A and B are shown apart, each in its own frame.
Chain A
Amino acid sequence: MPMTPWLRRAAIPLAGPLLLAGCDFAGLQSTLDPAGPIAQAQLDLFMWSYWLSWIVIVAVFGVLAYVLLRFRRRASDPDRIPSQFHGSTKLEIGLTIIPVVIVILVAVPTVRTIWETEVRVVPEEGDVIVNVTGYQWWWRFEYPEHGVVTANEMHIPVDRRVIVNLESADVLHAFWVPRLAGKRDLIPNQNNQLWFSADETGEYYGQCAELCLGAHAYMKFRVHVVEDERFDAWVDAFEAPSALPASDDPRVQRGRDLFATKGCSTCHTIQDYRGEVPVGSSDFPNLTNFGLRTSLAAGVVDNTQENLETWLRDPQIFKPGNYMPKVWREDDPDADEEIAAVAAYLLSLGSDAEELAFASGGTDDVQAFRAAATGGDDGDR
């Protein structure tokens, strides 16, 4: 890119007053606040065209303003007939060269960036491979090298190349984490690839960017970028997950039973819940280690006991249009108690991962575990 880093850094604060005063260009999904080399290259290209466009704007609108002021009809001479000239070949050739030059100035870095960022790559040692499948309206993340299947939250190690294989189970979707990389579509019967890496640990927000009807607006996801050790710990939590509640809390025990009796387990897999290992067999969100997730309903709300209860009571409140059925009837006298129990059970999942030594369970410790597993800086996002 013909953009030095200082120029780009200068561009962001300068762009504010030039566009409209007072805008904040940082943001959870801001393309102007990249945290990885791919998003950075994409932004650099944009900023290059952005500054070129200011030259065009100033030149064209400057001339236009001059013409409009200088050549308006004067009240002093309303009947003036201007010279009826039809054109000038020399001038027109000259004026054609200007857009040609601008286009070349844009085209050269564009082509270079395409070949730097969009070439299909072959996995190498150290790459992390994630198979992403889009469903209406959630994401399935499978780590074929690690045997991990999860939903809606992706964990990746910092500074490692991540190769994402994209497929769709139903309609079109698009995988977009603006701060890490531009989007790529998920298309049935077509295997698309996207690769990127992250420079900084943290929690990054993603969203489906291709209309998929219904709850399209609520089809979000999160990417947790963590240090290598944390990533390994997260993977280990899937290697020997326990579907048994870690806590002796009777409410959690009851939640575990209800998970089967209320029909949740018809669709949702919890690894080891029945002793089997049904990796990759389900077309519904896998809830293994659910307690480790920071968000609920595909990135829509924070994963808390209260939100989870609301979600279980009526899934349409947070996410209108989604396919999760309403399990408890409005007039069910046991609903409140049962919902709280199931929520407590689900939140306890993953909290007993030995590697992270949070053995006792309970909501507070789940929060702490989650914070540790996801890099620790997600508390207020």
Chain B
Amino acid sequence: MAIGRQAAPAVSDGTIFKRPTWTRGIGSWITTIDHKRLGILYILSSFLFMGLASVEAFIIRLQLMAPNQQLVSPDAFNQLFTMHGVTMVFLAIMPLGTGLANYFVPLLIGARDLAFPRLNAFGYWVYILGGLFIYSSFFLGGAPDVGWFAYAPLTSLSNNPGPGTDFYMLGLTITGIGTLVTAMNLIVTIISMRAPGMTMMRMPVFVWMMLITSFLIIFAFPPLTIAMVQVIFDRTFGTLFYVPEAGGLPILWQHLFWIFGHPEVYIIILPAFGVISEIIPTFSRKPLFGYPVMILSGIFIGFMGFAVWAHHMFTTGLGPVANTAFSLTSFVIGIPTGVKVFNWVGTMWGGAIRFTVPMLYSIAFLFMFVLGGITGIMLAMPPFDAQAHDSYFVVAHFHYVMGGGALFAFFAAVYYWFPKMTGKMISERIGKIAFAFFFVGFNMIFMPQHFVGLLGMPRRVQTYDEGFGFEIWNLISSSGTFVMGFGMILILLSVIWAFKNGAPAGNDPWDGRTLEWTTTSPPAHYNFAVQPVALDRDAFWAQKHPELAHADDPALYDHDYDAGGIHMPGQSWYPFLMSLFIVIGAYGILYQNFVLAALMGVLVTFTTYGWAFEGVGGYHVHPDEHESQEGATD
């Protein structure tokens, strides 16, 4: 089934580069293919970008704290909110979900790595290098300033001669490659590498949601990539896709963008649904209520996610027929979402709820996601959307969904899984204090934005005038940033402290229900010393409490799965090198240095061959040698 189960292949020395074997130091991280190390890199990188986006948001709120301020110029302001949006969506929240999936999908399904470890490393490196590529724009003539959805014809060369738009288009095309390959990798992994006994309907919900998310990515990203390539061609080679003077129809960009953009919302929120569906059962000491309904509603949401894109375009003059249709499909999505909320509450019903920090974030998620969902239904009414669209009401709405929803869920997940990833506990006491600041600050920032939007304040305005009733709400909102910022700093400090001095976590600090808690914290590089089997849904709980589960007879799975040793893949230079060449090539296109771009094209081709002919590599770990191997290979 998986690589590890086959007879040892001949170990190749590689074509150009030998397979590196570092276990420590920067080289070991650059060439790593370990899903756990890559997961940690993803998580750290996404927090780095989240920090940058938070600074941008902080400056935005300072500028808007009082009317008629000129703290930053309109141009700088446009760059700040564009980069805040781009960063949060593409470089922070989505990769945070990917990072958690990278680390935990294999552990949750009892696998030893993802199906394609080098592809996984490649996905990470194009993401981080693509992200840094976009951020380099701040030093190379100005960041993108066209908003995170970069509506044509703002992006045309005549309207936007600076390089910011090129950085946006090329950078997101590159990070999109990483997102796509990782999605394919996760699909193959989830379909083909589950532990014995883990049928599809025994998979943890987080794994299910990642499977759905990965399919969404595969269908959603190509339209965006096509649209971005068109703009790159417009700007680089003088094509006329989105040039109105030549008869181009800028509205087409909006369609292509939102055919990607709305599924993107579910690409972000479905993994969040997944982690919530892991955390609430654990801390309620009960199985998830209505597991099959949860899976089905996730699939239904994912499917319908492709049928609602034009609800972002109600004010573009689509006409009453289209507005009616897209309004109704959007309402329909409210049904499975509502069902999910009922099922989470149903999971807690009758339970023994422990108010740990991850559980607090999960409850906060429920609270804010319901509010964001309600305003979402309101915005799906085109006549009301005509008023609320592009106002601060929308800003409030999607921050409740993306921030209060997805971000709070991922914070819950980080608190929940931190002991597994590091073997250390984060202080619960500090965690609860920080949570209070984080939660109160968040609501201080975004609740008033509903009202200021209804009072007629458009979004993306660099300043506003006195006398419109906007002052008090903006002041409250901006003040909230200090409260939330203090919470964030507290969280950061407590995490750093926990790294050094945290209490040892043990294998199973939370009385977990799923397979990741059966192994050591942090797990050895081969994850499981013995191939785990899933006797029931909530596989670990079934092991701990066989009398409470409808578990299979363990004898069914009595087989030496690790005979011949566990095959662990070898490290590789190629994923990193290929990503590097792609990004350098992007600079070539950006500066119209086509010699450089062509050279990088050649090098990318070369690394593709190097990668393909590198050979399987790797080494075997033998179950009886686990103890002695650990020091040498970790």
Contact = CB atoms under 8 A, between A and B. Distances in A.
Interface stretch (A27-35, A256-264, A268-276, A328-336): A27-35
Nearest to A300: B465
Given A31-B454, A92-B343, A209-B390, A189 B250 contact: yes
Interface in A45-102: 45-46, 49-50, 53, 56-57, 60-61, 63-64, 67-68, 71-74, 80-88, 91-92, 95-96, 98-100, 102
Contacts of A181: 386
Contact of A170 (B159, B251, B389, B469): B159
Contact of B461 (A31, A81, A216): A216
A80 B548 CA distance: 13
26 contacts: A23-B472, A23-B473, A24-B469, A29-B456, A29-B457, A31-B387, A64-B363, A72-B355, A95-B342, A98-B342, A99-B335, A100-B335, A107-B327, A110-B331, A111-B327, A182-B384, A183-B315, A184-B317, A188-B244, A209-B390, A210-B151, A213-B75, A215-B74, A217-B74, A217-B463, A321-B73
A60 B468 contact: no
A41 interface: yes
A171 interface: yes
Interface string A146-189: 00000000000000000000100011101010100111110111
Nearest to A116: B383
A68 B339 CA distance: 19
Interface stretch (A117-125, A284-292, A345-353, A371-379): A117-125
Given A31-B455, A49-B377, A171-B154, A107 B331 contact: yes
B123 to A, nearest CB: 32
B332 A32 contact: no
B345 A25 contact: no
B9 interface: no
Interface stretch (B217-225, B366-374, B501-509, B611-619): B366-374
Contacts of B346: 87, 91, 95
Given A106-B381, A119-B320, A212 B455 contact: no
Nearest to A64: B345
Q: Which of B291, B323, B351 gathers the greatest number of chain A CB atoms within 10 Å?
A: B351
Nearest to B317: A192
A213 B257 CA distance: 19
A247 interface: no
A333 B367 CA distance: 65
A185 B316 contact: yes
Contacts of A85: 286-287, 289, 350
Interface in B211-269: 244, 247-251
A189 B248 contact: yes
A171 B377 contact: no
Interface residues of B, number: 101
Contact of B289 (A56, A86, A106): A86
Contact of B315 (A74, A83, A184): A184
A190 interface: yes
A318 to B, nearest CB: 10
Contacts, number: 299
Contact of A31 (B250, B251, B292, B456): B456
A42 interface: yes
A68 B363 contact: yes
Interface in B284-303: 284-293
B145 A213 contact: yes
Contacts of A210: 151, 390
A208 interface: yes
A174 B286 CA distance: 51
B384 A49 contact: yes
B323 A114 contact: yes
Q: Which of B160, B380, B383, B473 gathers the greatest number of chain A CB atoms within 10 Å?
A: B383
A343 interface: no
Contacts of A10: none
A110 B383 contact: yes
Given A71-B348, A183-B390, A216-B461, A110 B145 contact: no
B545 interface: yes
A320 interface: yes
B381 A28 contact: no
Contact of A171 (B159, B251, B293, B384): B159
Contacts of B448: 20
A234 B147 CA distance: 40
B73 to A, nearest CB: 6
A145 to B, nearest CB: 23
B460 interface: yes
A25 B455 contact: yes
B458 A187 contact: no
B250 A188 contact: yes
A6 interface: no
B455 A114 contact: no
Interface of B: 70, 73-75, 78, 145-147, 151, 153-154, 159-160, 244, 247-251, 284-293, 315-317, 319-320, 323-324, 327-328, 331-332, 334-335, 337-339, 341-343, 345-346, 348-355, 363, 366-367, 370-371, 374, 377-378, 380-391, 447-448, 450-451, 454-458, 460-465, 467-469, 472-473, 545, 548-549
Given A73-B285, A95-B339, A184-B317, 5 more contacts: A45-B384, A84-B286, A118-B320, A182-B384, A217-B460
B461 A184 contact: no
Interface of A: 19-20, 23-32, 39, 41-43, 45-46, 49-50, 53, 56-57, 60-61, 63-64, 67-68, 71-74, 80-88, 91-92, 95-96, 98-100, 102-103, 106-107, 110-111, 113-115, 117-120, 166, 170-172, 174, 176, 178, 181-185, 187-190, 192-193, 205, 207-217, 300, 320-321
Contact of B468 (A29, A64, A100, A300): A29
A23 B451 contact: yes
A159 B135 CA distance: 53
A92 B286 contact: no
B73 A68 contact: no
Q: Which of B319, B353, B387, B457 gathers the greatest number of chain A CB atoms within 10 Å?
A: B387
A118 B319 contact: yes
A118 B383 contact: yes
A211 B147 contact: yes
Contacts of A32: 454-455
Contacts of B387: 31, 39, 42-43, 46, 178, 182-183
B461 A213 contact: no
B138 to A, nearest CB: 18
B68 to A, nearest CB: 10
Given A24-B469, A114-B323, A217-B74, A57 B334 contact: no
B455 A27 contact: yes
A175 to B, nearest CB: 9
B385 to A, nearest CB: 7
B35 to A, nearest CB: 30
A57 B370 CA distance: 8
A98 to B, nearest CB: 7
A98 B70 CA distance: 49
B317 A185 contact: yes
